[in-house]
Amino acid sequence: MENLQKPPEEDCIICMETLTSASGYSESSECKKIKDSAVGKLKKCGHIFHQLCMLEMYNSGNKDGSLQCPACKTIYGEKTGTQPRGKMDIFLISQPLPGHQDCGTIHIVYTISPGIQGPEHPNPGKQYTARGFPRHCYLPDNPKGRLVLELLKLAWARRLIFTIGVSSTTGESDTVVWNEIHHKTEMNSNISGHGYPDPNYLDNVMAELAAQGVTEDCLNM
Ligand SMILES: [Zn+2]
Ligand SMILES: [Zn+2]
């Protein structure tokens, strides 16, 4: 965050006070290092907030090492998740997917075992279950599918593919669940709606990955 000496005559959208006055958090914040009226500009998107407000926003979130601009959702830093320990294996199969007859198939296998929740999980020290593993997922083995695979590998390394929570299908709590990055778990059928053909799938999953800060730019760094 870049320090701004002359704040514009606008409201801070975090505390709704004007940027030329003190942060709405100046009384409640425990931080003594940042001045009440200090204003900062985010580097990539240029949005401006009280520095104290940004700090309060970060501290009230899940403190995952990243920060999202509240105005435009640009992600700063590298967001990491709480995915438990496991394994991601990749295989290639020659059989095509429905709707992708011109290429073979990438087969991803996720393996996660039950374990004990860590401090980053909803109930530290309590057991979590891992149902339906290994989970099998499929991508077309074409340039776009291979790009999605690289993004998924990065998302896996950042612990973003799964999390521990409540299963939306069974209602079971303290279990390993998908974390808002949809996967295709059916290869030759589409009974669950998580199968092929689905011409928009690769674009949709790239948007979901981008929402977690995983984009093509990260691969080139
Ligand atoms: Zn503010
Ligand atoms: Zn912004």
Complex ipTM: 0.95
Q: Options 3.40.640.10, 1.10.10.10, 3.40.50.300, 3.30.390.130; which CATH number does 86-219 get?
A: 3.30.390.130
Among all bound ligands, the one having the nearest atom to the CA of 51 is 1
Question: Quick one: pLDDT at residue 221?
Answer: 57
Neighbours of 145 (CB within 10 A): 19
Angle at 106 between CA 101 and CA 110, to 5 degrees: 145
Question: Quick one: pLDDT at residue 2?
Answer: 85
Question: Quick one: pLDDT at residue 34?
Answer: 86
Q: Determine how β-strand 127-128 pairs with β-strand 115-116.
A: antiparallel
Instruction: Assess whether pLDDT exceeds 80 at residue 220.
Output: no
What is the overall mean pLDDT for the chain?
Answer: 94
Among all bound ligands, the one having the nearest atom to the CA of 21 is 1
Report the residue count for the chain: 221
Among all bound ligands, the one having the nearest atom to the CA of 41 is 2
What's the mean pLDDT in 129-141? Answer: 98
Instruction: Give the percent of the chain with pLDDT over 90.
Output: 78
Q: What is the CATH number of domain 1-77?
A: 3.30.40.10
The Å distance, Cα 18 to ligand 2 centre, comes to 17
What's the mean pLDDT in 8-29? Answer: 92
Question: Quick one: pLDDT at residue 219?
Answer: 86
The Å distance, Cα 27 to ligand 1 centre, comes to 12
Whether the link from the prior residue into 134 is cis, omega within 30° of 0, is: yes
Among all bound ligands, the one having the nearest atom to the CA of 20 is 1
Within the chain, residue ranges assigned H as helices are: 51-60, 143-157, 201-211, 216-219
Q: Determine how β-strand 127-128 pairs with β-strand 135-140.
A: unpaired
Per-residue pLDDT reduced to its tens digit, 177-217: 999 999 999 999 999 899 999 999 999 999 999 999 899 98
